[in-house]
Structure 1
Amino acid sequence: MDPDTQTLTRAESGRRRSRSSATTRSATAPTVKRLDLQGLRALAVGLVILNHAFEWPAGGFVGVDIFFVISGFLMTSLLYREYERSGTIRFSAFYRRRIRRLIPASATVIAVTIAGAFALFGPGRFLSTVWDGVAALFFVSNWRFAAVQTDYFAQGAQTSPLQHYWSLSLEEQYYLVWPIAVLVLGLLVAGRHRPRVLAAALCLVVTAGLFLVALQLTEADSATAYFITPARLWELSIGSTVALCMPLFDRLPSMWRPSIMLLSLAGMITAAVITPSGAGFPAPWALVAVISTAVFIAFPWQPRRAWLNPLANPVVSHVGDISYSLYLWHFPALILIAEAFRGLPGEKTAIPAVVSIVIAFGLSEVSYRYVEETVRKSAWLEPRRKRRMAGRSRAKPLIVLAASAVTAAALALAFIADDRATDREPSAAATAPSQTADVLDPGADRPALDSLSAELATALTAKSWPELSPSMDSAVAGYERDDATIACSNQVFPGLGSCTWGAADAPHSVAIVGDSISVGYVAMLRALADGSNGQLTVSTLGMYACPFVDFETTNGEASFKRACPGRKGQAIDNIAELKPDVVIVSNTYIPLNKTSDGAPFTPDEYAAGLRPFLERITPNTGKVLLLAPPPAEKDVRECYSPRTGPNACITTVPSRWKAMGKAEAALAAEFGGAWIDSRHLFCVKSKCPAFASGMPIKFDHIHHTEEYSRHIAAGFVALVAQQGIGLAGAQEDGEHE
């Protein structure tokens, strides 16, 4: 994305024969503008914009990888050329150029975006955007998004309008250390035979090592690897290797260059079509785009008739000129315009995307001319002598930058003054002792269920969003469960001692197993244990992204897939050790794909996969309860907006949910257990609101909040009692060993 360096020496453009370093230092080679690189920038930003706006081409996100290769090539060309010429690198001059190039336009977009977020977003999402802006301003966005476990490929209505700054942050981290690396590289090869070739060989070795690191990081967690610097450095390093090898590439006869250019261009287009999201990206799948870009740069074609080169014409070149500003503006425009269209007739059409692209181009033209280029040509940050020569008029860019920073700070302070600190306080309904006291009493069935039904019915009639605790903004912005629950539900199980709650000498026990749906019910069961007067212990044995069935699914990251079979076996062993009165199994009903054939599992396949596990755990428990998940349809991250009513987030019970419930009910009867219909806890007459009793019910399309999980504890006991089962007396129908 870095707009710097539109001109290169003829050596870097592929037109200079190899020379000794001594000769090179004595004179500065003439420069020539590479229009094809500007065209390549235009192609890259175009792919990114189309992918973000229309999700087409599906792999258009590789435009960022194209930018990385270009940046590595240009920076190394500049730095190594300076070293060859002078024997050193002027670090202060390099960083001054970087700041003048990047920060003014970047800060301007951040300030405008925060202003737009203040006008359109709720307080929780606005505050998150402010923090994203701070991270972007200090070039650590990529680490922030990795830390909060952002899924780049799960874009939606709650996506940060500054999420695209991750790539700029990564590049600036590269620029921070790469000048030092180039100087060290130059000193290592100084005085040796063909030093530039040796430097290129060393850079290639480093690139290979960085690629192996990227492979390991991608395999471990592709969502995190997408953002973090170590998983992306190999792409910039490939560009650096090409820069050092340019004198060798120059030897290729010109007759081959047009064909190579067209083939490499075809490779980039192909990468934009076939590169998959998620697993395998950025390594190894980014190789297709990265190698194609490297070849394009390495063998430039400068035809006498420029129109023969599809990327070397004035129109495309101008898009390349403004590509930095265009990249900065396009994503905030897309997110903010989509929010502005909420509830309007054209919301679900392509109109918001088209409008955002038009606005982004207009803003890019303005910021390129009056911010980016004005600051670049100014004497800002230059030594005092140069500033005096430039004149006072050149101080205007600094005013622009200061105004941007002040705007962002003022908006942040305005939000803080609004004092929304109570948004994350637990609701009274969620923590009141009456919700959990004596919840093991089977006679408390109808009153508890009637109360829940009344609360849900009231929520279904709401015309506007009430004050909730926690706020809906905080729920959709990145909801997190209790730390202890999270620890028990990850790849490595900390042990029964850490994942069991209640009195150690309690006469009765419950264990729950399953995927993330079971994790959602843990808060409910812990509330039961806390309210049981020492009569009940609860153990959680489930794991995120790991359905308790005897087949593997493609759900989750690679590390979770590897851990899942072992965790399921460990849960069965734990049940055999605990011999609990009741085992609750709760899995997702959404159609996850089977690893064996990649097809979604059917209700019959699900029942067939669950049966062997029930056969293994039934001898070691009094009763097995199959607890249905909340019906999944509307995703509150997509449908929620403070500018629209809660009707947009009402879920109806899908037909698949009913089919899966029917299969589980039959299977439960087969093993003498019971199926618990969760609709009574979340819905009224097949309609399920997004909130009830002053709290959000879900924080995405399927997972419910801990606050609501605790709130439904008494209702859950009532449902179990309707099946003739008391949680404190599950062994009454027969003892187990």
Structure 2
Amino acid sequence: MSNAHPAAALPFRADLQGLRAVAVLVVCLAHAGVPALAGGFVGVDVFFVLSGALITGLLLRELEQAGRIDFLGFYARRVKRLLPAMLTMLAVSFAAAAALLSDTEAAAQLASAPYAATWVSNLYFAFAKFGYFEELAARDLFIHTWSLAVEEQFYLVWPLLLTLLPWRSPTGTARGLAVLGAAGLAASLYWTYKRPEFGFYLMPSRSWQFALGGLAYLAASRPDLRRALTPPRAALACGLGLGLILASTALLHPRLAYPGAWALLPSLGAALLIAGGPALGARHPLAHPALVWLGDRSYALYLWHWPVLVLGFALGYEGQPGPTAVLGLFALLLAMVSYRCVELPFWKGRASHGPARRTLLLGVLAVVVALAGGLTGLRALEPPPSGAADAASAWRGDAPVIYRQHCDAWYSHARVEPCVFGPETAQRTVVLLGDSISAQWFSLVQGIFAPPQWRVVVLTKSSCPMLDIDIFYERIGQTYQVCTDWRHAVLQDLARLRPDVIVMGGVASERFTPEDWVEGSTRVLQQLSPAAGTILLVPGTPRLGFDGPGCVARHRAPDGTMPAGACQADGALAEVAPVTRHLATAAARFRNVHLLDLNDLVCPGGRCRAVSADGVVVFRDGQHLTDRFVRSLIPAARPRFEQQVPALGQP
């Protein structure tokens, strides 16, 4: 509940605190990687509806009792309720990242700190343009503050909007909220499918959820509706509402265009729980004391869980249930301390008193100090003024030369623009085909299929695996139509080119089903097999589970040595084994398609290391190989290629 002026305080509802607990739990578990709760991001939608109900209720009650809204008092209460705990989280997380991560990692993962401190991080993430290989930017420690920024921007405009509605008439207020909600929903639907990043991050696209919460509050407070909503009917409404939220959590996933129409499910579920809760009172299942206890600490837990998980994952604990559970418990402990020592004193304790004007001035001063501290800290993490990049930056940039020749246009367009290496007079042609995981093998392919006999043609598009399926791409928030169009065009071009050899690879992603892998690969191979002499299908390399260059930078001694056991992943090969089997099934259907698995060279003995036994850095991020390491594999890989392509041994 919010800390409101006594004249405008709302009755405490334990069921709403329990609903907060459900919302924060599903968010945290989804971020922790629990597979059955991939749709846990809907907890944020529940928070938006709840905020709309509570803030609308507080402001309408103040209008009814005082005839006006004390704007300064309202904003001061918001500042005291939310700002101290958030600034504490930002400061502690910033310091922890600077201490635990390499400078390059920390700089990339703390980039949003100034925006988070000023409650505009949603604008930063909506308008930022990240490159394909900026993997660290996707692990920004403060990306979760986008939802807090949306709420603060809502709080900024909502009091004024309510005063413009016919607030003396509940029916008029409801109609006004319905109009505002319909406009916000229309914006959300449009942006979700036209500009997905705007639909997800911008406040106008979420305003309908706040308006829906306001309508739910009105429904719960109207005497005639409360009389009509008998306990059995209320139980049905609440059961349906909770069912919608839990079903959304279990059935939705990040590969959907969201929020859009899908967000109606958890949002309507939250509205039903808000409207039906008063009729059940203390008998409401969500009013259980344990849920109320967690709901009281939901804001603190939301603040702390993400930076704790991200820092833990950066240190190599991603995908490990035991360590992840420990990280979750540590986040809960931090939330308990933050709630008791920071949040409560400013919310309900001694620090909660004081004139509104002074509170706002102190809040602005605190934000200015935090902003200055964040900018200073980020500058301290930058490379020296001389411009000399540190070793980690050099490893991170150790990519094939094709990326400097614009062979890969990513999602910008679907034009087929090959890069060609070797003489036009070459007797034979090899094509390197696939996504960025396939592209990492360029130097190896060029080294084995050498001129003057061979010409190498590169046809790659990042995040576009060679599967004949439509792909929803999370980075752009919509179906990757450019990938589909490019793939069709490439297959037609290859039918005309008729190369001697095609080396085709791709990421070993778990987001595709076995049928996607087997049948999607088969449909592609059906078109390629008649067009090529030999097709070598290279399974995707494993993921480290952490940033390779950053880990090496943290552990490598000045003499180049590494502690035993540092920066390695033991179970990574097992994770890609199912995809390898699916590709083998598809390859077996064609006489000229052969599986060529190089993963035992990447991860000898089944153990993936960030640095090879020869001291070469293996990964340039968490999944792509450095070009130097790929070149080092040429002697060991050559016999495998020669076994499948006899022409390699011919003059």
Q: Distance in 1 between matches of 2:315 and 2:62?
A: 49
Q: Decide which of 311, 336, 343 is 1:361's aligned counterpart.
A: 336
Question: In the TM superposition, what is the alpha-carbon distance from 1:110 to its structure 2 partner?
Answer: 0.6
Counterpart residue number, 1:470: 394
Q: Distance in 1 between matches of 2:616 and 2:334?
A: 39
Counterpart residue number, 2:414: 493
Say whether the 8 Å CA contact 1:48–1:63 is kept in structure 2: yes
Q: Distance in 2 between matches of 1:314 and 1:589?
A: 45
Give runs of aligned pairs for residues 236-251 of structure 1, distance below 5 A.
236-243=210-217, 249-251=222-224
Say whether the 8 Å CA contact 1:330–1:356 is kept in structure 2: yes
1:280-320 CA distances to partner (integer Å, 9 max, x unpaired)?
A: 443434333311322333355277xx643455588765654
Question: In the TM superposition, what is the alpha-carbon distance from 1:68 to its structure 2 partner?
Answer: 0.4
Q: Distance in 1 between matches of 2:283 and 2:344?
A: 29
1:518 equivalent in alignment to 2:518:
no
Counterpart residue number, 2:263: 286
Change in Cα spacing, 1:617 to 1:4, as seen in structure 2 (3 Å) is farther
Say whether the 8 Å CA contact 1:547–1:588 is kept in structure 2: no
1:277 equivalent in alignment to 2:266:
no
Question: In the TM superposition, what is the alpha-carbon distance from 1:169 to its structure 2 partner?
Answer: 1.6
1:75 equivalent in alignment to 2:52:
no
Q: Distance in 2 between matches of 1:137 and 1:612?
A: 54
Q: Decide which of 593, 614, 625 is 2:528's aligned counterpart.
A: 614
Counterpart residue number, 2:188: 214
TM-score, structure 2 normalization: 0.75
Say whether the 8 Å CA contact 1:640–1:648 is kept in structure 2: no
Give runs of aligned pairs for residues 2-401 of structure 1, distance below 5 A.
3-5=2-4, 32-49=11-28, 51-52=30-31, 55=34, 58=37, 59-79=39-59, 94-145=74-125, 159-183=139-163, 185-186=164-165, 197-215=171-189, 217-218=191-192, 226-229=200-203, 231-243=205-217, 249-254=222-227, 256-275=229-248, 276-280=252-256, 281-299=258-276, 301=278, 307-311=282-286, 319-335=294-310, 347-348=322-323, 350-373=325-348, 377-379=352-354, 382=357
Question: For this pair of structures, how many residues does the alignment match?
Answer: 624
Change in Cα spacing, 1:685 to 1:707, as seen in structure 2 (3 Å) is same
1:645 equivalent in alignment to 2:559:
no
Counterpart residue number, 1:462: none
Q: Distance in 1 between matches of 2:234 and 2:17?
A: 14
Q: Distance in 2 between matches of 1:310 and 1:545?
A: 46
Identity percentage over the alignment?
24
1:11-33 CA distances to partner (integer Å, 9 max, x unpaired)?
A: xxxxxxxxxxxxxxxxxxx9645
Counterpart residue number, 1:682: 602
1:525-576 CA distances to partner (integer Å, 9 max, x unpaired)?
A: 78999x969995634255634424xx43766458445555543321122224
Counterpart residue number, 1:23: none
Say whether the 8 Å CA contact 2:502–2:535 is kept in structure 1: yes
Change in Cα spacing, 1:291 to 1:503, as seen in structure 2 (3 Å) is same
Say whether the 8 Å CA contact 1:140–1:166 is kept in structure 2: yes
Say whether the 8 Å CA contact 1:49–1:330 is kept in structure 2: yes
Change in Cα spacing, 1:71 to 1:56, as seen in structure 2 (3 Å) is farther
1:397-436 CA distances to partner (integer Å, 9 max, x unpaired)?
A: 8997787667656654554488896556xxxxxxxxxxxx
Change in Cα spacing, 1:61 to 1:265, as seen in structure 2 (3 Å) is farther
TM-score, structure 1 normalization: 0.68
Change in Cα spacing, 1:254 to 1:50, as seen in structure 2 (3 Å) is farther
The amino acid across from 1:613 in the alignment is Q
Question: In the TM superposition, what is the alpha-carbon distance from 1:270 to its structure 2 partner?
Answer: 2.4
Q: Distance in 1 between matches of 2:422 and 2:51?
A: 61
Say whether the 8 Å CA contact 2:240–2:269 is kept in structure 1: yes
1:552 equivalent in alignment to 2:472:
no
The amino acid across from 2:20 in the alignment is R
Q: Distance in 2 between matches of 1:140 and 1:398?
A: 14
Q: Which deviates more, 635-644 or 57-66?
A: 635-644
Q: Distance in 1 between matches of 2:432 and 2:599?
A: 19
1:438-469 CA distances to partner (integer Å, 9 max, x unpaired)?
A: xxxxxxxxxxxxxxxxxxxxxxxxxxxxx555
Q: Decide which of 683, 697, 700 is 2:622's aligned counterpart.
A: 700
Q: Distance in 1 between matches of 2:36 and 2:5?
A: 28
Change in Cα spacing, 1:677 to 1:112, as seen in structure 2 (3 Å) is closer
Counterpart residue number, 2:559: none
Change in Cα spacing, 1:162 to 1:377, as seen in structure 2 (3 Å) is same
Change in Cα spacing, 1:299 to 1:610, as seen in structure 2 (3 Å) is closer
The amino acid across from 1:273 in the alignment is L
The amino acid across from 1:690 in the alignment is A
Question: In the TM superposition, what is the alpha-carbon distance from 1:168 to its structure 2 partner?
Answer: 0.5
Say whether the 8 Å CA contact 2:51–2:210 is kept in structure 1: yes
1:625 equivalent in alignment to 2:535:
yes
SS of alignment partner, residue 55 of structure 2: helix
Question: In the TM superposition, what is the alpha-carbon distance from 1:111 to its structure 2 partner?
Answer: 0.3
Change in Cα spacing, 1:114 to 1:246, as seen in structure 2 (3 Å) is same
1:502-545 CA distances to partner (integer Å, 9 max, x unpaired)?
A: 5896767554333443344457678999x969995634255634
The amino acid across from 1:232 in the alignment is R
Change in Cα spacing, 1:260 to 1:664, as seen in structure 2 (3 Å) is closer
Larger radius of gyration: 1
Change in Cα spacing, 1:129 to 1:290, as seen in structure 2 (3 Å) is same
Q: Which deviates more, 255-264 or 214-223?
A: 214-223
Q: Distance in 1 between matches of 2:204 and 2:65?
A: 31
Say whether the 8 Å CA contact 2:121–2:146 is kept in structure 1: yes
Change in Cα spacing, 1:48 to 1:263, as seen in structure 2 (3 Å) is farther
**Pairwise CA RMSD of aligned residues?**
5.2
Say whether the 8 Å CA contact 2:188–2:260 is kept in structure 1: yes
The amino acid across from 2:617 in the alignment is M
Q: Distance in 2 between matches of 1:284 and 1:480?
A: 43
Q: Distance in 1 between matches of 2:192 and 2:129?
A: 14
Counterpart residue number, 1:463: none
Say whether the 8 Å CA contact 1:51–1:61 is kept in structure 2: yes
SS of alignment partner, residue 432 of structure 2: strand
Question: In the TM superposition, what is the alpha-carbon distance from 1:238 to its structure 2 partner?
Answer: 1.3
Change in Cα spacing, 1:601 to 1:625, as seen in structure 2 (3 Å) is closer
SS of alignment partner, residue 625 of structure 1: strand
Q: Distance in 2 between matches of 1:121 and 1:299?
A: 48
